[in-house]
A = this chain, B = another copy of it.
Amino acid sequence: MTADRPRTLRDVAAELGISAKTVSNAFSRPDQLSPQLREQVLATARRLGYPGPNPLAAGLRRGRVGAIGVAYDNGLSYAFDDPVAVALLAGVSAVAEPAGAGLLLIPGSTDGRRRLAAVSGAVVDGLLVVSTGDDDPLLAAAVARGLPLAVVDQPRPDRLAALGAPGTPWVGVDDRAAAAAVAGHLLALGHRRLAVVSFGMHRDPIRPGLAGERVQAAATYAVTRDRLAGYRDAVERAGLDWASVPVWHGGDSTPAVGAAGAEAVLATDPAPTALLCLSDRLAEGALAAAAGRGLRVPADLSVAGFDDAGPAAGLRLTTVRQPTRDKGGAAARGLLDRIAGRPAPPPRVLPAELVVRATTGPAPVS
């Protein structure tokens, strides 16, 4: 039996009585040695069961490993359940794959320490940070790595500069304008009693409930903040008082949370005639809650979402279409540019548009 210790370059070199470097060249730089010797080296490698240069060692020496890391605000497991996250990853991989780059999905964790350790310890050439809060230490850890970085959605470019990462490729949409558009749509339909169902405003878990203006302004998620600001813009433009609009916020962007939020705001008095949900998944839950209460949509209640992902079309949901896939692609491209030493592209605001479907209609004549 042969020794079962993993083989190295030196083993192959020793077997043939040549230098290790030549064996290395046989694998990595075929032009550096004669074809005959190369064949001989490869044959010997096969015979000895040498799997080719250890990528880890090669990576250390070369300073490249051929992978980009994706750090997601929430955990991975959550990411795969969220159509928006999946679409984003699809966009990232569509760009990374042809470039030959692997995608390292960095594990999240409820334990903050481990969460950061995963970022610090990721074996990658660059990091793609997706949608984190303004003060998330995850981002600080990413910046600390000193690796090329790219950011999707949040924090915003100005915040990135403040965090010591100016010139970081950034991709997002104009959340504020888009939110104003949906709200404006509902107001134009005659709705005067709106309510908002939002996901979390801060990373830290909160007790779900109504959020006053103070809480809203203090939201560390820029996306949340801006969408709320957009709703507010439209509401005030219509001459209404933002303070009279109940804004409920819960945890993650899931149907369950959306349902809970809808229940909560529908219980307020006077009851709203239209719900502005910060995501389609929340809207999905809101629709379920409405159905549970026997409310007809849109006759009794209008519901609007945000994202236009996953089942939005199937639910005939009025929402904002975000080019989620493109966001991933553009961010990946920006990151790969930085890795290759090319200049960082400027922050990129992709278009978002209102998509009116069947879940919004004229306000009921109460």
B66 touches A93 (CB 8 A): no
Q: Inside 8 A of A75's CB, which chain B residues have their CB?
A: 97
Partner of A104 from B87, B104, B144 at Cβ < 8 Å: B104
CA distance A104 to B118 in the complex (A): 13
Q: Indicate with 1 or 0, residue by residue over A317-337, a CB within 8 angstroms of chain B CB atoms.
A: 000000000000000000000
Of all chain B residues, which has the CB nearest A101?
B107
CA distance A103 to B86 in the complex (A): 15
CA distance A256 to B139 in the complex (A): 41
Q: Inside 8 A of A20's CB, which chain B residues have their CB?
A: none
User: Which of the 9-residue segments A57-65, A199-207, A261-269 touches chain B?
Assistant: A57-65
CA distance A122 to B97 in the complex (A): 13
Q: Given known contacts A55-B123, A123-B67, is B105 in contact with A109 (CB within 8 Å)?
A: no
Whether a CB of chain B sits under 8 angstroms from the CB of A120 is yes
Of all chain B residues, which has the CB nearest A87?
B80
A109 touches B97 (CB 8 A): yes
Partner of A93 from B56, B80, B144, B146 at Cβ < 8 Å: B80
Partner of A56 from B52, B59, B103 at Cβ < 8 Å: B59
Interface size on A, residues (CB 8 A): 53
Q: Given known contacts A100-B109, A101-B107, A105-B102, is B77 in contact with A93 (CB within 8 Å)?
A: yes
B86 touches A97 (CB 8 A): no
CA distance A120 to B46 in the complex (A): 14
Interface CB pairs A-B, < 8 A, 9? A49-B144, A69-B102, A76-B93, A77-B94, A77-B97, A81-B90, A99-B107, A102-B106, A104-B105
A-side residues, CB < 8 A to B, are 6, 49, 51-52, 54-60, 65-67, 69, 75-77, 79-81, 86-87, 89-90, 93-94, 96-109, 114, 117-118, 120-123, 144-146, 311, 314
